[in-house]
Amino acid sequence: MAESPKMTTQTLRLVSVLLSDPEAEWYGLKLAAEAGLKSGTVYLVLARLEQAGWLTSHWEDIDPSVEGRPRRRLYLMTADGIRGAQQGIEEHAAALGLRPQSGARSRPAPRGASAT
C-alpha cells in the first residue's frame, strides 16, 4: 500500500462520510453534498485516497442515453482505507482532546467548584 494520505480537514470530512456507510459505492457529487465540500476539492481528495489504496473506483455500468445523465465514477472503501480512515479520525480527535464515538466524555468541574 502507498503512503497514507495527509489528513487535512477536507480529507477528514470526506472519510467521515465514506465511513458512514463503508460498504456503499459513492459518487463524487453525492460525497461533495454530504461532506459540504466543493466538487473540485472532493475529486482531488478522492484521487489521493485511491492512490493510497484506501479506495477503489470504477465507472457505473449504465447507458447514459437511457438514464438521461452521464455515467458516474463510483468509489468504494478498501479494508485498508477503512482502517486508515478510522485511525486518522481517532488520531485527529485525540490531538483535539476528543473521543470519537466512544460515548459522553465527562467534563471537568468549573474552576472553584468542588469535585465531590
Give the orientation angle of helix 9-20 with respect to helix 79-95, to 10 degrees.
130
pLDDT of residue 112: 55
pLDDT, one tens digit per residue, over 68-78 is: 999 999 999 99
Flag whether pLDDT at 40 surpasses 50. yes
The answer to whether 82 and 75 have CB atoms below 8 angstroms apart is: no
- Structural domains in the chain, CATH included, are 9-95 (1.10.10.10)
The answer to whether 84 and 54 have CB atoms below 8 angstroms apart is: yes
The answer to whether 98 and 105 have CB atoms below 8 angstroms apart is: yes
Predicted confidence band at 61 (pLDDT cuts at 50, 70, 90)?
very high
pLDDT of residue 96: 80
Burial class (CB in 10 A: 0-12, 13-18, 19+), 69: exposed
